[in-house]
Structure 1
Amino acid sequence: MRTTDAIVIGAGQAGLAMSHCLAARGIDHLVLERGRVAERWRSERWDSLRLLTPNWMSRLPGWSYRGDDHDGFMTMSEVVAYLEGYAARAPVVTGVAVHALHRAPAGYRLETSAGTFAAPAVVIATGQCDVPHIPAMAAELPRAIHQVTPSGYRNPFLLPDGGVLVVGASASGVQIAEEIHWSGRPVTLAVGRHTRLPRRWRGRDILDWMDRAGVLTEPAEQVRDLSAARTQPSLQLVGRPHHASLDLGTLRAIGVRIAGRLAGIAGGRALLRDDLAETTAGAQRTLDRLLDRIGALADAEGAPDEAPPPTLAPFARTPSAIDLAAEGIRTVVWATGFRRDYAWLRVPVLDASGEIRHAGGVTPAPGLFVIGLRFLRRRNSNFLDGVGADAEALAGEVLAHLATKGRAAA
């Protein structure tokens, strides 16, 4: 059995930031990674994807973007290289899958593919985007329909010929719908809840304004409904060198068919709700509130005047059902978000929905922590740019816990 003072599970951005902050406090630790450093960025992203945050926001403790395109957006290979550089001095053990995490007399015992590890403190850093969520209705699709999630999608040319139904209109859904459309395939986008944003506004990237106005660092304890905030859809943005916006209006203009939320599958037909007006109105209200909030800062800084993005014109009557075979739809892309899979976590810290119970990353089990989840401590807790502040705070919590165990830092 291999022992250390702390073990971090996962070598993505959250795990590596945690490792840096533990090392800064002299805490002996290991980072266990089931694949390679930044494995999800390597193997679970599509070919053309870029970060949604500009490069200057790629800030981790002791590490930041070092290129010369500060306002650009890193490609996936650039993200991997960025995180590999960060991991160079971290005690990462790759190719180690954690099969079970148990309580033990001195803390925790981890059963892994490389044997048993033990430590008085463990930090779960497996992230927000763990396992793609595929609705149960997917089982009702005809077998001839090819199904894929954003984690498995690579590019349009690996899909079967024919039309495509993309389910979900957050960041992944709108980007994939646009890319598939430009490949020449007819695309239908089934729209649910989404967060509409312009890429730029009043001379700056929208995330720049949100950062400067304190929106992204808003503390969890100041949010009126934290549970709702943690389940908000991802921002409807795209990272492109020419800083163009992407929303339902953009997609409609190029010929993507926009439809309501997918309600079910029956007899080879996709059943759709007549709720497009409702969901777009909700997204517009969120956008209006945000622009009102950051508009005062833009005025104070003398930013150039700019009208807000126009309200989307009403969509024509949307279909209530689509006969998939008759319309030649041979692929469904489930851009329906992610869930967390903690089947290996044998410590009773999960709530009724299977999520880890925690207060700012501190679970009810002494010595067990979690990092990298949405709104862990701040609105940007699961961003590349936001996880560092959480890591700094949690490293202090780990140090305090180890002191109670008589484990002094080096």
Structure 2
Amino acid sequence: MPDKLPFEFLFTPEFSRNPYAVYTPLRGQGPVFPIDFPPGFEAYLIIDHEHGRAALNDPRLSKDMQRFGDYFRAIATEDDILFDSNMLSVDPPDHTRLRRIVSKAFTPRRVEELRPRVQQITDELISSFDGGTAELLDEFAFPLPIIVICELLGVPADDRDLFREWSALLVNPTFEPEEVERRRAAARATTAYFRELSKERRAEPREDLISALVAMDELTEKELISTLSLLLIAGHETTVNLIGNGVLALLRNRDQLDLLRAKPELLPNAVEEFLRYDGPVERSTPRFAAEDLEIAGTRIPRGSMVHISIGAVGRDPSVHADPDTLDITRSDNRHMAFGHGIHFCLGAPLARMEGQIAIGTLLDRLPGLELGCTEEELSWRLTGSVVRGLSRLPVRF
């Protein structure tokens, strides 16, 4: 391995197909590895459980990129609503305030009330499969969570396809000028859409999350739009990958699939194992050193970008026995698929519920489920955007 991992490699099909193969030799060089991402900046990747967990909760690592130079300030303010004014991209006390406000609207009770509706949507989507084959991402894993989050927010059904398109562009890890402009256009369109919808809900409130947040009158317009954009994208992008990656893991490990069919009570535990084994987030969103500091003997200069590889942490052999083996009976599963510390994913209960219902119902209703292509034909979305998921997943049943 080179002394510094080139950023281009993080965007290659080879890395996206199997990042875990890269981390094994890296572990021999230590838990912190310098990377060239973005180009020309000091950046570091943490790949072990101990230091990754500590970094996710280290107040010296800031989430506010606007504090660290013109380059990052431009990303945050010019075109990227995800890194602007929401709880994912600020530090306390603003983070504390924003999370408290959103938590009041996004309650466990509100999430649990969605369970029957999630089951209904799941059943309807599976019933629409035709001819003993399906493209599981397009026909199931994508529509399920986007319908759920749009209904939760209060986005009209006719606009769901727009958000799927905008969301894909907003998490697109590209530096190509044409694609960057498409991403900016998607950000502008999302901003304009939520600005208008918020005005409508202020005038005519409904029983949805947008109305609840508007009624609190505790967010600036910028904070409201950025928060809604975060909830929309985080509310479905990661769940798509949890379903797709989880189903693929079972299809590649038939003994575990057969065990789960025989013992459906293992489903909650199985979902936790999917989150560890091949979770929906490969790398954390970036943090920035607010001061000179040291992690595992590596000096991290002030202003450096720090990434935590959630995927590598989940395969750390010092914490997880037999880490490259899928084991749905694993009892001590200390994965960090939803993060750790003050930025722990607010939507974790919803993602878990959707994953359990989706995968459990697929296994129950689709006997003989198997891959509809060869392993070599599978392709993965580029992981430079931090999310990890398949581009397509054809199946037969």
Which has a greater percent of helix? Answer: 2
**Structure with bigger gyration radius:** 1
TM bucket (normalised to shorter chain) is under 0.3
